[in-house]
Structure 1
Amino acid sequence: MNQAQTEFRFQKYVYHGTSSVYLESFAAKLLNSEKWLPNRDFGSALYTTISLEQAEIWALQTVQKMGFDDTIDMKPCVLKIAIDAARLRELSPRMLVFMGDSIEWARFIYRHRVNTDRSSDPCGTDHPDLIIGPMGDNDTGAIVKMGQLSGKDDRWFYDQIIRDRNHRKLDTLQLGNQIAFCSEALSPCLHIAGYYLFEYGRWEYHATGRKGIRTTRLLRTRNR
């Protein structure tokens, strides 16, 4: 009997919400593990999503957390990242895919969220190169702290992160999607195709191509 084979077909673009102050840094090196924090859902990685609207929310939240500084030209920014699917298949990355929310998914997030040590990882040396799965809802950071202080288990954590701030249970599609690129070895598969800037109450798109951020030109406007 032939062994079953699974091939994931990736969409052409994914999106990353950030601040405009990081544009040049991303242009210089899109996958830069020195910039990644350890205590994230799927560990240290560049986090992207297939949803442009979701990435816009990430960008707005990023700038809000950074605080206002009138000495810095800082705007919410969403990177549009092109995926070279053929190159990605050639590299054969170690992948972990959570098709929906589950105890295993929550346990993976919990283990990585409590880890603040850059030099270690709950997966040891077997951390996947690419992880796809739902986002946790509600305030995951606060839930993690509460769980640690109270000694809560994985099942409690799972029940908390699948609910919104009104404690209403959400299904997988409502939770949102995230794709984490966890290895710099995947750099040849990705490049910044363009970016959105939020200013004057609207999102404006700028194309970059492979020549970098400085070659931008306005293509269209997305009103929100």
Structure 2
Amino acid sequence: MKLYHGSNIAVSKSEILVSDRRLDFGTGFYFTTSSEQAQNWSELTVKRKGTGTPTVSIYEFDNQDLSGLKCLKFPRADKEWLRFVTANRKNENIQNDYDLIIGPVANDRTMPVISLYFAGIYDEDETIKRLLPQMLRDQYVFRTELALQKLIFVKAVTK
């Protein structure tokens, strides 16, 4: 399967960079199966960093061969997913030893709902109810060198 990574530069060698950004699934190298979502991420990265060119790096990944990897999969946005994302977004230092985490992405469209949940205005049930119609895209987060070894760089495309 093809996985897409949006950035302000071509990324031909994936690596895990520690960041102070609070991301859905914590530290790791993030991908999506949506080229459109990756393009949006690349444009956002250029705006945020103020440099570079929107670039989507394309990788091949055999999602049938997860041998040797410890994986966590969230098939949908549910309470378990919401709690996991919340803990990571609030930097509650979730310690886990997953090599790969797969699940829906809380993006800019969903953040108003997530923010109301953080503020205690929405409970879990209301938050999930409001998120489900938003057609959440997916994200694949490679968190270890072992997981990154499963990726094959194909090419980078600039806008």
Q: TM-score higher than 0.5 here?
A: yes
Question: What is the number of residues matched between the two proteins?
Answer: 158
Partners of 2:16 and 2:143 within 8 A in 1: no
| Secondary structure in structure 1 of the residue aligned to 2:124 | helix
Distance 1:63-1:97 versus aligned 2 partners, 3 A rule: same
- Counterpart mapping for 1:68-87 below 5 A: 74-84=52-62
**Which residue identity does 2:90 align to in structure 1?**
V
Q: Which has the higher helix share?
A: 1
Instruction: For structure 1, list consecutive stretches of 5 or more residues without a partner in the other structure.
Output: 1-10, 163-168, 199-224
| Secondary structure in structure 2 of the residue aligned to 1:170 | helix
Distance 1:154-1:97 versus aligned 2 partners, 3 A rule: farther
Deviation at 1:33, TM superposition (A): 3.4
Matched with 2:80 is 104
1:30 aligns with 2:7: no
Partners of 2:105 and 2:137 within 8 A in 1: yes
Q: CA RMSD in A?
A: 2.8
Relative contact order, CA 8 A, sep 6+: which one is greater? Answer: 2
- Counterpart mapping for 1:114-125 below 5 A: 114-115=90-91, 121-122=93-94, 124=95
Structure-1-length-normalised TM-score: 0.60
Distance 1:19-1:133 versus aligned 2 partners, 3 A rule: same
- 1:176, 1:145 → 2: CA distance? 18
Partners of 1:81 and 1:192 within 8 A in 2: yes
Matched with 1:66 is 49
CA deviation vs aligned residue, 1:172-216 (integer Å, no higher than 9, x gap): xx1111111111222321132101101xxxxxxxxxxxxxxxxxx
Instruction: For structure 2, list consecutive stretches of 5 or more residues without a partner in the other structure.
Output: none
Between structure 1 and structure 2, the one with the greater Rg is 1
1:17 aligns with 2:6: yes
**Which residue identity does 1:76 align to in structure 2?**
P
